[in-house]
Chains A and B, each alone.
Chain A
């Protein structure tokens, strides 16, 4: 065997190990969701294939899983939408207008995003109670938008600042108003960035747990991560099969989104840090 072949084999082995290490929980999740018994790894039980878990999760009204899924989608969509709108307006102002404190504003946003969630949640609960918003969509959309906004802003600022100023000037000469410049030139030119911000915001909101746990009380606004976590209380024992089936159903759209748009997301995250 030549040196090259050895090296290739070693690299391959490394990749397989890493993949297995990362994917093991997911594979375990998938297997359990398709198994009749969660404890099939013990000697007393053996693996038997079944779709009962999925069936239960998707159709059993008492589990409310479809409700959670719908809530999650709508809340995440709304959060991502508001994030993109607000972040693009802010990024446009920061990159195009000469006002004092532009940079400090950006760093302030970054600092705010470092705030631990747990430090906010108590106050948020009081706030939402006062507004009478507990267990409504807006109780989650509002904090999600605020929480994801700094990252969105940073990504869009780095995208917008790479669009040459001459393009703005050309649009201005061609008769655009500032709003038209944003809508007809800047946003379309930065479309990959806008898309990646949308997807990232969506995924962040979709995965969020703590706010959703504190600010919702039942299936009318509860999101999937909280819903799954609270499955266990419903019956006497922990319904591992149902939990895993629900997790698979929830993970799938995110995985698909990420696979389809991974290039945009990566570009969005590394834009400005890496050239090209």
Chain B
């Protein structure tokens, strides 16, 4: 099932006045795609998911499942969640506390008045898929977080939905379980091939799961693309900083001409711009820009003797395999990733900046 959102706007009127939760959003989600909505808290991710599910009405815009219009404000069409046949997994799981696991999973089928024998078969199959067959007689209160999560997913898949919607389903789990469940959800989606929209504020989760990711910020789409393209070619500062950990360095830089060469000024030091980036720099109208540089594109005390900056190590943080080094370049804070020992605090180091890998953003921060 393809899902297509066209010019969707959603406003809420609340005590603090009108809130524009979603501002003119258009997205096309392909058949069988694993689509991730990524963004900081309050950016409108859940609202968007609720609109797709039919739990909220859009203020303006149209939503289509394949060729079927499920919501259209112009033509006053609005289908209920039931008519859309979507499945929803909530952050808090929303299991029915008064029913045991079997009845929880069977609930949508019972409402649809499906035959008893068929319900039993479907529930057992869903339970087997999620390996919760031995929990069928238990009440949700007695389950662990991971088990509840599985039950919630089983309830969602039991009736073969058109679209599978998940709203931060893993954020209540501990780190290890989250990684395990992440892999399971990905496998399950591959196996079932159901179009999936997955909401998260965790960029690692988004990068690991998504076929494509839409980055939302304050109700607007910043960028839609594959995880690689978001990482390699962020469309703006927001995406650049939101994706990748530690986040990309964002530095105010200015351009000067010295000895006939274009140079970037960082603090009191200058670096010659490599030939790959000259064209892009020359395209800028002003002589200052915002320079984005990933921490892994900074080398500390390299063996060669190319052009360097001098910097002071402000602090050091071990990330396990790598070490994040927070540098001070004439008052500019820059983060570097390196894998070597001996990064004493306060030491003076030489730093190589791989300007050929830099991102150039126009405008202000």
Could you tell me which A residues sit within 8 Å of B by CB distance?
164, 166-167, 169-176, 180, 184-185, 188-189, 191
Contacts and interface: CB of A to CB of B under 8 A. Distances in A.
A169 B94 contact: yes
A191 B81 CA distance: 27
Given A175-B82, A185-B96, A189-B96, A169 B90 contact: yes
A166 B92 contact: yes
Interface residues of B, number: 21
A176 B53 CA distance: 14
B81 A172 contact: yes
Contacts of A188: 96, 98
Contact of A170 (B82, B90, B98): B90
22 contacts: A164-B94, A166-B90, A166-B94, A167-B96, A169-B50, A169-B55, A169-B88, A169-B90, A171-B96, A173-B55, A173-B86, A173-B88, A174-B108, A174-B111, A174-B155, A175-B81, A176-B111, A184-B111, A185-B96, A188-B96, A189-B96, A191-B98
B88 A170 contact: yes
B111 A175 contact: yes
B362 to A, nearest CB: 42
Given A167-B96, A173-B53, A175-B82, 9 more contacts: A166-B92, A169-B50, A169-B88, A169-B94, A170-B88, A173-B82, A173-B88, A175-B108, A191-B98
Contacts of B155: 174
B97 interface: yes
Interface of B: 50, 53, 55, 80-82, 86-88, 90-92, 94, 96-98, 107-108, 111-112, 155
A171 B94 CA distance: 9
Contacts, number: 51
Contacts of B80: 172
B210 to A, nearest CB: 22
Contacts of A169: 50, 53, 55, 88, 90, 94
Nearest to A163: B97
Nearest to A172: B81
Contacts of B96: 167, 170-171, 185, 188-189
A172 B94 contact: no
A175 B79 CA distance: 12
B112 A175 contact: yes
Contacts of A170: 88, 90, 94, 96
A169 B92 CA distance: 12
Contacts of A174: 107-108, 111, 155
A95 B83 CA distance: 25
A189 B95 CA distance: 11
A92 B19 CA distance: 26
Given A164-B92, A180-B111, A172 B98 contact: no
A170 B156 CA distance: 10
A172 B80 CA distance: 8
Contacts of B90: 166, 169-170
A184 B107 CA distance: 10
Contacts of B81: 172-173, 175
A263 B108 CA distance: 33
A184 B55 CA distance: 19
Nearest to B152: A170
A55 B97 CA distance: 49
A256 to B, nearest CB: 26
Contact of A172 (B82, B87, B92, B112): B82
A235 to B, nearest CB: 54
Contacts of A175: 81-82, 108, 111-112
